[in-house]
Structure 1
């Protein structure tokens, strides 16, 4: 093409703050005027727009809700695609798969599909209808996954062509997420950064915290917001656990440095940004052993990854809090691993190679 930046249309089930959305905003900010962006949030939530550089060429087209049967919805999506005429369509996760179908049926431009993980409905097994849809629809698209677990699934289960499947681990700004100077004073703080949605199962962390508190004193701080906040506040009060609900925070980096331990209790993950950020900040991690977390953390940390079980998670928390010297050594090992594996510049270069192709 000639004249002006390339036009990218991004379709997200939601543009609320989440791993895929924050990766997109970081990449867009890094590329600057190289691309223009149109962003569609199918649920209407565009709250992650606050993370975009105001100087970028970004629009949020008004899209009418697609109703009726599948054929009717696909016709409506095709009309939008013809109206917006992007140079590149990027769809995110299963929630945007109908846009991938409509694009394949009606357009000739390039398409990239990203898969960042599954909801609770596909936590333990793939839904056959979705497997078949991905297998058929995505064969002609470029597909990007951030975790080895997802790459294995896309290869073995969805049977996508290796030439079109790209494993690009997430990356972060290692200078912004850096260890604190010295050990935070006062009571130990267990920190969690997560959207308060069912698949994150923050309730498990609160119950595990109540178990760990029998042996160790600490404060639990939860960064993030979402539909489960009210129920989680009630659970914390019922458990008699001191929990600080800090809400959504635009820049969590300074708050990580006040943590003693980072904890994540999700039912399903792939390559969570929050674990990378905690590692870059020199923190030990206690988490459920899901997705790629065991591959992400330093070998010294793997003993503190547990099954999806309240008691096991609580015991791991108590053991790590009881041994500050070991926790500090694990945090240092995690920082070294983050420096070796999770550099934003390397991720951005690999994405750029695909966007420019």
Structure 2
């Protein structure tokens, strides 16, 4: 694999108008001669830190390399060293633009230069900002097979975005969706309806649920005990866990209010937040955290390179989100056989139908009650939930199944030789 950095201060200085050259890292290997495989180039802000990024990683690792050559272009890949290693091991080429701003002229020029150098047959963009910016740059670079991705039900507001800017962004997405993408892949059935409402053409949209590596996410008692010891959690304590960004859409205020209720009934209850540190919480969330009856029984852990070792440490996995699409973390927890409780948003009800609990959003009482019920399950009931949850993942939500559907979509756009 080659990691390419274009015209950066600490590598090779080139005027942007000159031909693209590459700075090749120690992971480099020569490209195969006369490679006739269609090139699928993915453009995303990052390769870690969220569900869309996790799905991108899973797809890049799994897509049939005999059928397609995969290239990943990220705005900012450098912080995600574990993900870079995984892509290298999968034989995926990575270009890091080393930028934090989509609309920086140098960033746009670098992206355009990579597209002209790679000459992809298909460009797939990930999340709304990458869809709009990456889609237009790909179009200007002469790429007509553009695929957009939907991984949330609403368009997220960045800090400082005004109502006017958000309204313009929605209109720009709706307008551009009519002719920039040839296909629009949504991981969520519910999100398709939301995006059709802002102008996305229904006939371009295809539902492909997220998929995970079920051979990696497995029930593992020993891994769970090791992780509990690492996080200084008692081996037999009830533990409610959350995995994800500490973002306002996750409504962690409701989660913490429910935690306070549960700790008054189950004083030994512990909580784990994986995906950030306490200082990243909002002011309201920090106040609620400080008021917990057993504040010392709450742990924060950054995004882990081995989340499959965290889930088995949990008694219950839970989301309190006010909006979701098809949350990857729920599928991962199910594959590990962990009982799940979520709010009734996005495709959560579809994922957990008959084997988990969904509660109304912004209802801490209902959430705490559902946690308590899950903690009271007997061994036999927990084993049955674990069996059914994992089987559902194996039947419907493996990355092999999802990658096959992506490959079918790509094959519709380019002639693929077997």
Change (3 A) 1:66 1:144: closer
**Structure 2 matches for 1:46-65, cutoff 5 A?**
46=80, 48-54=83-89, 56-62=91-97
| 1:169 equivalenced with 2:209 (yes/no) | yes
Q: Please, what TM-score do these two structures have when normalized by structure 2?
A: 0.72
The Cα of 1:74 is off from its aligned counterpart by 7.1
Give the Cα–Cα distance (whole angstroms) in 1 for the partners of residues 115 and 88 of structure 2.
25
Match of 1:314 in 2: 368
More off after superposition, 35-44 vs 191-200: 35-44
Alpha carbons of structure 1 residues 68 and 191: separation in structure 2 relative to 1, 3 Å: closer
Instruction: Deviation per CA, 1:193-240: give whole Å up to 9, x if none.
Output: 112233223343233111111112321122222685466677534423
Give the distance between the partners of 1:36 and 1:319, measured in 2 at CA.
45
Residues 344, 15 of structure 1: alpha-carbon distance in 2 compared, 3 angstrom cutoff: closer
Q: Does 1:154 align with 2:195?
A: yes
Structure number with bigger Rg: 2
Please list the CA deviations of residues 56-107 of structure 1 after superposition, one character each: whole Å capped at 9, or x if unmatched: 24222436656589xx997886566445533321111211112213333552
For residues 254-276 of structure 1, give each alpha carbon's deviation from its aligned partner in whole angstroms, at most 9, with x where no partner exists.
22112111111222210011100
Among 236, 261, 277, the residue aligned to 2:289? 236
Instruction: Find the aligned partners of 2:192 and 2:262 in 1 and give their Cα distance.
Output: 35
The alignment status of 1:39 with 2:90, answered yes or no, reads no
Q: 1:120 to 1:103 in 2, by over 3 A?
A: closer
Contact kept, 8 Å, 1:209 with 1:317, in 2: the verdict is no
Cα 1:245–1:42, aligned 2, differ >3 Å: closer, same or farther? Answer: closer
CA distance in 1, matches of 2:359, 2:332: 17
CA distance in 2, matches of 1:189, 1:4: 51
Name the residue aligned to 1:143.
Answer: 184
Asked if structure 2 preserves the Cα contact closer than 8 Å seen for 1:288 and 1:305, the reply is yes
| 1:128/1:43 CA distance change after superposition, 3 Å | farther
Give distance in 1, aligned partners of 2:391 and 2:271: 26
1:143-222 superposed matches below 5 A: 143-162=184-203, 164-180=204-220, 186-216=236-266, 217-222=268-273
Question: 1:116 maps to what in 2?
Answer: 151
Structure 2: gaps (5+ residues): 1-33, 226-234
Corresponding residue to 1:223 among 264, 270, 274: 274
Structure 2 match to 1:134 = 173
SS in 2 for 1:52: helix
Displacement of 1:112: 0.9
Separation in 1, partners of 2:359, 2:238: 20
Equivalence map 1:12-23=2 (5 Å): 12-23=44-55
CA-based RMSD of the aligned residues comes to 3.3
Kindly tell me: are residues 55 and 297 of structure 1, through their superposed partners in 2, closer, same or farther at Cα, counting changes over 3 Å? closer
Whole-Å separation in 1 of the counterparts to 2:332 and 2:322: 20
**Cα gap change, 1:290/1:323 in structure 2, threshold over 3 Å: closer, same or farther?**
same
* Alpha carbons of structure 1 residues 220 and 170: separation in structure 2 relative to 1, 3 Å: same
Task: Provide the residue aligned with 1:263 in structure 2.
Answer: 318
8 Å contact kept, 2:341–2:370:
yes
Residue of structure 1 in register with 2:339 after alignment: 284
Contact 2:76–2:96 (Cα < 8 Å) also in 1: no
- TM-score with structure 1 length normalisation? 0.83
Is 1:350 the counterpart of 2:405? The answer is yes
Distance change (3 Å), C-alpha of 1:104 and 1:194 = same
Q: Does the 8 A contact of 1:321 with 1:327 survive in 2?
A: no
User: What displacement does 1:145 show?
Assistant: 0.4
Assess, with a 3 A threshold, how the Cα gap between structure 1 residues 41 and 67 changes in structure 2: closer, same or farther: closer
Deviation at 1:144, TM superposition (A): 0.5
